[in-house]
């Protein structure tokens, strides 16, 4: 009786060992296969659809520009000229100190801004005036290439609370004067042209945004 039980137990142990060995071998094979798949370049290449999604996502993230003001590129036409004139007459525009331009270049610019604003019926407010309805901040840079100098400018329009409402930007290219470079080569007429364009665009936006 005891001998028979011992034989049965021994047989079960051998079967259990064989099963365990088979399972270990299967796991080892699976591990080898997974390792091979990871090392294969094709294994880490996403499907075509996924690749396109990833690429598009990366491109969107890389090319999304900084938040821009929600002002239309082409302002809507105001209801009538009288209404536009009324809007401009109520505007008190404060011009912040110019950033980036030399004093020599900023002087004719500021003078022409004042003259052009007066022509368009816009009142300029002083730096300490608390009644300003809009604040205009300008950022400038100049680049000389050969005999020409290009002035690049950006104007941000803010409300009295500091919220940006609109952006005006552009560039003006003109021959350098006095053989100078950068700001030394910018003629007063170039800055006056920029001033005229700036006030005209501001007036068009202001009238159109309320139309």
pLDDT at position 128, please? 87
Tokens representing 149 are 């100098």
Alpha carbons 175 and 151: distance in angstroms, whole number: 11
| pTM, full prediction | 0.61
Q: In the block, which residue shows the tokens 């030399």?
A: 102
- 36 band by pLDDT with thresholds 50, 70 and 90: very low
25: pLDDT strictly greater than 90? no
| Cα–Cα distance for residue pair 74/24, rounded to 1 Å | 73
Q: Retrieve residue 28's tokens.
A: 């080892």
- Which residues lie below 8 Å from residue 149, measured CB to CB, with a gap of 6+? 142, 143, 173, 174, 175, 176, 181, 182, 185, 186, 190
CB 150 within 8 A of CB 123: no
pLDDT at 157: 98
For 134-202, the DSSP string reads EEEEEEEEEEEETTEEEEEEEEEEE-TTS-EEEEEEEEEEEE-STT--GGGG--HHHHHHHHHHHHHHH
Question: pLDDT at position 146, please?
Answer: 85
The string of pLDDT tens digits covering residues 151-162 is: 999 999 999 999
Give dist(CA 64, CA 10) in Å, integer: 72
| Exposure of 147 in the CB half-sphere (CA atoms within 13 A) | 1
Q: First CA to last CA across the chain, in angstroms? A: 108
178-188 pLDDT, tens digit per residue, is 766 689 889 99
CB of 137 closer than 8 Å to CB of 156:
yes
Assigned token pair, 161: 């609370």
């Amino acid at each position: 009786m005891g001998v028979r039980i011992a034989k049965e137990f021994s047989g079960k142990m051998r079967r259990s060992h064989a099963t365990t060995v088979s399972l270990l071998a299967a796991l080892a094979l699976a591990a080898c296969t997974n390792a091979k798949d990871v090392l294969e370049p094709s294994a880490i290449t996403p499907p075509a659809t996924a690749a396109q999604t990833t690429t598009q996502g990366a491109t969107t993230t890389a090319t999304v520009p900084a938040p821009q003001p929600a002002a239309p590129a082409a302002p809507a036409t105001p209801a009538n000229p009288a209404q536009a004139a009324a809007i401009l007459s109520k505007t008190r525009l404060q011009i912040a100190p110019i950033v980036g331009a030399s004093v020599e270049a900023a002087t004719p610019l500021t003078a022409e801004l004042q003259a052009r604003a007066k022509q368009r019926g816009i009142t300029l407010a002083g730096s300490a005036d608390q009644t300003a309805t809009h604040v205009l901040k300008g950022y400038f840079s100049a680049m000389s290439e050969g005999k020409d100098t290009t002035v690049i400018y950006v104007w941000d329009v803010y409300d009295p609370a500091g919220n940006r409402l609109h952006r005006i930007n552009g560039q003006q290219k003109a021959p350098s004067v006095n053989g100078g470079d950068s700001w030394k080569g910018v003629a007063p007429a170039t800055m006056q042209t920029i001033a005229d364009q700036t006030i005209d665009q501001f007036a068009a936006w202001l009238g159109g945004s309320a139309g």
